[in-house]
Amino acid sequence: MDQKFEIIETTAQPVLSIRKVTSVRQLPEELGKAYHAIIAYLEELGQQPADAAFACYYNMDMENLDVEMGFPVSSALPGRGEIKASQIPAGKKATALYVGPYQEIGPTYEAMTQWIKDSGEEPTGVAYEFYYNSPLEVPESELLTRVVFLLK
**Mean pLDDT to the nearest integer, 25-49:** 97
pLDDT by residue (tens digit) across 65-121? 999 999 999 999 999 999 999 999 999 999 999 999 999 999 999 999 999 999 999
Structure pTM?
0.95
Question: Per-residue DSSP letters for the chain?
Answer: -----EEEEE--EEEEEEEEEE-TTTHHHHHHHHHHHHHHHHHHHT---SS-EEEEES---TTSEEEEEEEE-SS----BTTBEEEEEPPEEEEEEEEES-GGG-HHHHHHHHHHHHHTT--EEEEEEEEESS-TTTS-GGG-EEEEEEEE-
Q: What fold, for 6-151? A: Multidrug-efflux Transporter 1 Regulator Bmrr; Chain A (3.20.80)
Domain ranges of the chain: 6-151
